Amino acid sequence: MKMKSLALAIAALSAGVANAAYTDTTTNVYLTGASAIRNNVAYAIKALCTNASGSLTVFKNGSSTSSLANQMAYQCSTGLAGTPITTVIHTVTGGSLNSVLGMSNDVAKQQIPVSLTAGCTAPVAGSGALAGFSVRPNCALEAAAAPSDGGFSDVEYAPVREQVDILTSALDGFTVDDLSQGFTGVAQVFGLAVSEKMYKDLQAAQGIACTAGDPLPACQPSLKRGDVVSLINNNTFAAHKNGAEALGLTAGAAVEYARRVTTSGTQSSAQVLFLGKGCLTGPNFGEFTVIGDEIAAGATASYNGGLFKVSANSGTGDVINKLTAAGNTSYAFGWVSGENRAPVGTTGWRFVKLNDVAFSDGTSTGLNKQAAIDGKYEYFVEAVSYKGPASKTDDNEGAVLDAIAGSMATVVEDDGAVTVGMFIIPENNAGYDHATYPSEVSYYQRGGSSPNSCQPVSRPF
């Protein structure tokens, strides 16, 4: 801890007074990284606190008490995982690679955490994604960014290694070779989410005899893998980027791809699964380039006279907001993790099938994972955790990070978290099997105990 405290003090002095707004203490851990599993991380922290006979309070930026934000904090009334740490601060702006980059001494790579004191209003009972939590909303953000202690990533950094190879000891305080990649034993399902208009018009185009907007699996329209490849690669001559009619939709109508920024693990997973990013390399090539890497976060670019648009979004919530804003007036789609439940009823954004297979239960309580567990749906990747050297992640912080991962990979019967869109893979540390836990443990995985998103789905034993 002394080594880490000294490093933080030096970083604060070099960065100026503003960085003193957030203080890393022995009772907190600051995590950055994946937004796609933020809900499941929250459930895991709650389970850890409950199992320690504590009570948990959630602090969040923004007024909603039914959905998570990009900047959150969780404060337990007792220490977590046998450590003095009672508070987990969790920032997911920028996405998964900030589980690594966010630890940097370089302020430009750091993220801004939520404040636990400024602006927070009285605790209320949460609902929706925060049902069962005591929530203090409207918390302000800290005055400045700060280095984190590690975090979670949807995918390992290997397919996008060029983005972490930039780290240097002189500027960042560590290099990629100083990192410790942790095995989580869980996989996260992802799917194609679309705006209300795109969903309803696809239903009509495909002759689906359901109430328009019905989100149940039998009523979900489908897109082919080839459609997604054509929509997200950088070939602007593709029919899919020259009018919505290529998808059977209104001729001459524009389509927007609400993608994530380049540091996002969700974005990396889409490029790995559909374009072979970092996988189809070598003398035989085969990797496709994605469209829109040059677009700054929050900006939108137009192609082919506005028939195809691409927006770059920092977090999962930002993509969902884009789809919601498109509503029943325009076509928009994005790649979203299955821990998010689409609105019930007949309005709002929706998940669609891929190759005629649905993963979304289409309900307010569905767990969105059984199709993947059963081997019918293959669009998932295995989450990892990242720790830095001792100057970045001390023993207690590492223990809490490991405990959160462990809770996600523990079955409910053994006091594990109830996860959505996330399941335990066959190679797990506890030895859980599909036959005993058919709704929580899969027969199938990708890399297993050596996470590798490039590997095809297989049954290890």
What is residue 184's DSSP assignment? E
Indicate whether 13 pLDDT > 80: no
Q: What is the DSSP string of 248-290?
A: TS-TT--EEEEEE-TT-HHHHHHHHHHH-TTTS-STT--PPPB
Distance in angstroms (rounded) separating the CA atoms of residues 272 and 280: 9
Q: What pLDDT band is residue 4 in, cutting at 50, 70 and 90?
A: low
Question: What pLDDT score does 451 carry?
Answer: 85
Q: What percent of the chain has pLDDT over 90?
A: 92
The answer to whether residues 419 and 40 touch, using CB atoms and an 8 Å cutoff, is yes
Average pLDDT over residues 360-379: 97
pLDDT digits (tens, 9 = 90+) for 294-313: 999 999 999 999 999 999 99
Instruction: Write down the pLDDT at residue 23.
Output: 86
* Confidence tier at 433 by pLDDT (50, 70, 90): very high
For the chain, give the mean pLDDT. 93
Is a pLDDT exceeding 50 seen at residue 328? Answer: yes
SS3 384: strand
The whole-number average pLDDT for the span 416-440 is: 96
- Which of 460, 451, 446, 453 has the alpha carbon at shortest distance from 280? 453
Asked if residue 358 lies in contact with residue 217, where contact means CB atoms within 8 angstroms, the answer is yes
Which ranges of 25-131 does DSSP label H, i.e. alpha helix? 38-51, 98-101
More confident residue, 95 or 421: 421
d(CA 58, CA 329): 35
What DSSP designation does 111 have?
B
Structure confidence at residue 154 as a pLDDT band (50, 70, 90): very high
What does the pLDDT average to over 341-369? 97
CB contact at 8 A, 56 and 75: yes
Contact 247, 254 (CB under 8 A): no
Residue 79 has pLDDT above 50, yes or no: yes
Topology adopted by domain 189-373: D-Maltodextrin-Binding Protein; domain 2 (3.40.190)
For residues 248 and 126, what is the distance between their CA atoms, to the nearest angstrom?
A: 41
Q: How confident is the model at residue 14 (pLDDT cuts 50, 70, 90)?
A: very low
HSE at residue 195, side-chain half, CA atoms within 13 A, is 23
C-alpha–C-alpha distance, residues 301 and 203, integer Å: 28
Q: CATH 3.40.190.10 spans which residues of the chain? A: 189-373
Torsion of CA 274, 279, 281, 283, to 10 degrees: -110
End-to-end alpha carbon distance in the chain: 42
Residue 1, pLDDT above cutoff 70 = no
Whether 5 shows a pLDDT value over 70: the answer reads: no
Between 95 and 84, whose confidence is greater? 84
Query: What's the confidence (pLDDT) of residue 11?
Result: 43
Q: With a cut of 70, say whether residue 6 has pLDDT above it.
A: no
pLDDT tens profile 269-291:
999 999 999 999 878 789 999 99
Q: Which two tokens stand for residue 256?
A: 């927007």
The DSSP line for 85-100 is: --EEEEE-TT-TTHHH
Label residue 22 by pLDDT band (50, 70, 90).
Answer: confident
What is the per-residue pLDDT across 374-413, written as a single tens digit (0 to 9) for each?
999 999 999 999 999 999 999 999 999 999 999 999 999 9
Q: Which has the closest alpha carbon to 455: 179, 187, 53? A: 187
